[in-house]
A and B are shown apart, each in its own frame.
Chain A
Amino acid sequence: MDATFKVQRYDPESQEGSHYEEFEVDLPEYGSVLEGLLDIRDHQDGSLSLRCSCRSAICGSCSMKINGESRLACKAMVSDIKETEGDIITVEPMGNMPVIKDLVVNMDMFWEKVEKIEPYLQPTGPEPEKEYLVSNDEMMKLAVAMNCIMCGACVSDCTVLEVDKTFLGPAALAKAFRFAADPRDGAQEERLESYNEPTGVWDCTRCFMCVQACPKDVAPMERIMDIRSMVVENEIDKKGRGQRHIQGFIDGVKHSGRLDEFGLARKTFGFPIWAFELADLGIRRILRLRLPPIIHKSIKSAKNVKKIFENLGV
């Protein structure tokens, strides 16, 4: 099977900036994008740099953007892509992280966020002599989040991280769920309190990009929603952020037909946190020209949206 790869190249040691190069490869019937890239590296241009190891979607090394979407190169089958997305396969490094060379990015920011959620079991009370007795169901509920191989695809495609580097992000929060929901953990309350802070679970805009990007069906956004539920159910959310966030979301869309980001942040975190703690985010957004409009305009069919809400009794 022939395929054309259009690969983003960048070598900090050369004068040439970031650019694209095209390669023709011949692959076996079920060849992956990774096999295509290895063929290029092995037989055409050994200077192509990428991270890879297991070839079976378990080590998490080979995340990259393939036709604009973050995926594992070893799991992206060339024949599938050709069938549904066209003949040319464009390969670029992950987003939201600085490029070191070609398809290799610096993941420091990713690991720092994972470390921030205190990613280790913190049992309290006397340790059992053997194992903790827990039900299989309780363990398997965590296994969904344990599927995470920390490949970075969700962080690469996260639309919040694009504008707000302080957000803990989908990978770290999916891991946070794994500990907060572990019956053996003794720090659940402290964990939920910290994930409830600004930069935590309420910063997710539910854009679904991480769910789509995740190659292991962890569905990070759903894990973030799980934590939100735990925050509300455990009455951690004494400042009522969760409830206000949900109400703010509804009010905004009901009123104008679209999300009022300014209003949402103001309602979720309340005054003065909204004004002070989020001020630097606002400034960064202004600098990157990504500030939501201060004057919130309604969409044309806002009236119809309002009717939908009224019919639903919301």
Chain B
Amino acid sequence: MTATFEHARPAACPACVGAPAAEHLADLPKQARVMLSLPGIHCAACISGVERTLMAVPGVMDARVNLTLRRAAVEAGADITAEDLSAVLARAGYEAHELDPGVLAMTEADRQGRDLMMRLAVAFFAMMNVMLLSVAVWSGADGVTRDMMHWISAAIAIPAVIFCGRPFYASAWGALRGGRLNMDVPISLAIGLAVGTSLYETIHSGHHAYFDAAIMLCFFLLAGRYLDHRTRASARSAAQELAALEVPRATRLTDAGEAVVSVADLAPGDIVRVKPGGRIPVDGVVTAGTSELDRALMTGESLPVYAGPGHAVSAGEVNLTGPLTVEVRAAGRDTALHRIADLVAVAEAGRNNYTSLADQAAKLYAPGVHILSFLAAVGWYLYTQDLRIALNIAAAVLIITCPCALGLAVPAVTTAASGRLFRKGLLIKDGTALERLAEADTVVFDKTGTLTTGTPEAVDLSVIPRAHAPVALALAAASSHPLAEALARGLRDRGVTPAAVADITEKAGYGVEGIWQGQAVRLGRAGWTGAKDSPETATYLRVGDTAPLAIAFTDTLREGAAELVASLRAQGKRVMMISGDSRTAVDRFAARIGIDEAVAEALPEQKVAAVQAIAEAGGKVLMVGDGLNDTAALAAAHVSISPASALDAARSASDMVLMGRSLSPVADAITTAGSAGRRIRENFTIATVYNVLAVPLAVVGLCSPLIAALAMSASSLTVSLNAIRLK
């Protein structure tokens, strides 16, 4: 799919050579760093294979595979483009997609991860050492020895807590300044109060110091944060960095000649030229040239449509066969492309603000903890008139209720779940996506490019007489029209070799013709070959004066699509298909794949309306789509998935991205989401039970540092172990 649009890059376009402006634009740095996404790799042989394949390409200086992130980084000369490398890998049997080497953004995410890891390491070091000293105190060290242990603990714990807790303090401060309470407020307060009272106790040679508890709290919470960060950062960067397909440049024709300009500089009335394979940058009218347009991503139509002088075209469509000269009617913000973008913005604003399970818990938890520890402190102060005891109790309550387990409950489960799904080729971009996916009860599919691969395949090639097949192949190979390409592919697979056809010329918008053994041969549209037009998708072959032969085509089913629909129906979900394609094509396809509810000829607005109507009736929609026409519906749905071949806009509007070709991970994702939701709720229950047991101890003043340490680590471990159980 991606390959269709890639020739729009200026560097790879031979026609740009000679145009000085274009040459300037194509002036890339000498050494380009190419990043490729490799969703299919999984073992040592894959690493070796990919690296060896890449290194064998002339001009590649270094190639390194990262198996954890399913990526390859390639150091290559400027003349090597990512699509060359993907093609080489595809021939070697590895699926590869280009990643935008937004190196800056990536190192940024990386830096954050390393920062957290650093703090985690410091917390671990400090925790282990302080714990060692605390064991001495718990086992009965007394007097001067105990004080010394406390002082050394303080010397280790105080700097460590200040360094490690920074992410929490920053977030808590941000929340307080905004007048809100989040989970980090009680955390910061607990750490601060514990360290403060412990220091006071140490100075006055008291019995109890909570340095170990404070640093342990930091460690467990940082572990949760780090897991959370790692899951989201890797998925987000990969999803966003899949190369942008839109090229914001156009070739403008003026009296002075051709010039490559930015689309933003175009005004209505300008004349632009769109080469075959290029994306139309503006809305306009064709003034010269004939061609065919691929509108699949704009409207969902699976078949190319004819375009000639006088036909209206809109931005985002792809010119397939012949060069077109287009008079600009609208550019930039006024184009149909932008109207869809506006529709997305509206749909996103209308989307309910989903409150994640963690947020719901925090909303109950944070005020509750504060009130409880405040009441305990007040009670003890009134009872003993001793502020020191009262503060000690307040600190103990805050520490014992510390949301260690709560802080790990969600991240541990989502890490386990998204790791599983990542290995199957599904990226989760949004932290709450799994929770929302678990709630989905209606699944809405787009047709073209989602349930189908968007490439046609011939229904039955044996209709072509044996003698004519080589002629058909010779003609088909000369065209880049999707039907011709599919025909050529199909014939080559059957072992046909092209015949010697002379004078092959492509008549853009009509077909290909040539001379074979003295007879005129044509492959193309019905009218042009003298055949009767039929509603079927077909191309026609005419050899000499024989009757034209229809070669029918059908959409290729995407891998795993039929199984997915069947399994969704078995799970009792409502399955729908909303497509922009024609009635006959949609109905035939729906019957083939087993979907009862199918809407055809839907405009982007109607897709959104359909999704919203289901939502208003109480349904939770999972939308799966790839086109620009689906983008608004993807944004409006409760949760959404798009394939890697989808347009940039569609991918960024959806919550999850399928990295591979197959649709089957979607079914896995739904199952995993369901069990992840159950695990998260179980984890909350565990954390609550532990609090219910331990809080009374703290309130009545029976909570020693030993009990706090045991309770804290026990609850964190149970929660993590429960998360690993995820199937």
A and B, one complex? Answer: no
- Which positions in A face B, CB cutoff 8 Å? none
- Which positions in B face A, CB cutoff 8 Å? none
